[in-house]
Amino acid sequence: MDEKSKPPEFDAWPLLGAEDCARPFVLHAPEGGWRAPIVYSSPHSGRCYPADFVREAAAPLSRLRASEDFAVDLLYAAVPKHGSPLLAAQRPRVWLDLNRAENELTAEMFDTPAPEWAATESERARAGLGVIPQFIGEGQPVYARLLRWHEARARIDAYWRPYHGALRSLLAEARRRFGAAVLIDCHSMPESAARAMTPLSLRQPDIILGDGEGSTCERLLTDTLERLFREAGLNVRRNRVYTGGFITRHYGLGGFGAHSIQIEINRRLYTSPHAYELTDGFLELRQVITGIVARLPELLAPLWRRARPLAAE
């Protein structure tokens, strides 16, 4: 991608110790008011890497970024123009994973036994992939030292809780206005992950939709997104490996006016293979996503037309 076509936000990537890193999230409010009760969340696109974290890490910054949902918030940048809020994390996933339960932690990462508030026996925690990850990718440690429990508590209190507090408030506002809420959780996956799940004779997925095997939303949401992505020429799968993480499952009930779905985008569509650089595919994909975002309020309207708003707008 040439310099003229790069989005302006990209010039500041990544941010190390910048003043903006003090904020737990950025909320892009709907321009001109809510058009539909659709809330977009980008919990893994944070690019504010604390300078002390990078300095003390067991891996270089280029490796620390391996779990980052690179530029996903930029792909969805048009969301506010179409009447929906976009909530985007500031800190990176490798520092604090917002798509985990707040107390899901790996005991072996810390210098003393786990306190009562820590949940250390979940599958993710035992694998070193809790709210504060122990590993990057294939077992590479994030830290060169043991952490202290108060460090974990401070991150959770200052960043996890505000993000989820904002997300809950947005969903509550959607339900107040329309009687229902739809959460779209925005993610990306490395091409290596897509390739690993695909036989050589088949085309690897461009998009994976995760709805907890149909448990986190009504089929209209999944069916509509699949159709729109397919119309754009993209290969779509459902619930293959990525069935929806903590956010999708925690906020989606598959009915009762609460719907959620996770969208995983294959990063080969818009990034270079071996570096964190946007390709011309970024502009094409952003245009596709913008078109889908623009159509969803009308296509998903049956999800809230039969619901009754909790208060007048």
In degrees rounded to 5, what are phi and psi of residue 163? Answer: -65, -50
Contact 136, 66 (CB under 8 A): yes
- Checking if the pLDDT of 11 tops 90, the result is no
d(CA 156, CA 23) in angstroms, rounded, equals 13
Task: Give the closest residue to 229 by CA, choosing from 212, 206, 262.
Answer: 206
Element (H, E) at 237: strand 236-238
Q: What is the pLDDT of residue 312?
A: 44
- Given a cut of 70, is residue 13 above it in pLDDT? no
15-16 and 48-49 as β-strands: parallel, antiparallel, unpaired?
A: parallel
Q: Which residue has the higher pLDDT, 185 or 255?
A: 185
Structural domains of the chain, with CATH: 3-95+149-305 (3.40.630.40)
What is the 3 state secondary structure string of 213-234? CCCCCCHHHHHHHHHHHHHCCC
Give mean pLDDT, residues 295-299.
Answer: 98
Mean pLDDT of 21-44: 94
Please name every residue paired with 261 in a beta bridge, in sequence order, or none if there are none: 184
Of 136-140, 146-150, 220-224, the least confident: 136-140
Q: What is the pLDDT of residues 88-121, one digit of tens each?
A: 999 999 999 999 999 999 999 999 999 999 999 9
Alpha-carbon span 306 to 176, nearest angstrom: 14
Residue 206 — pLDDT band, cuts 50, 70, 90? Answer: very high
Structure tokens at 255: 């009915």
C-alpha 24/C-alpha 37 separation (Å) is: 23
Do 25 and 170 form a contact (C-beta atoms < 8 A)? no
What percent of the chain is modeled with pLDDT above 90? 77
Q: What is the DSSP letter of 156?
A: I
Give ∠ CA 212-214-215 in degrees, rounded to 5.
65
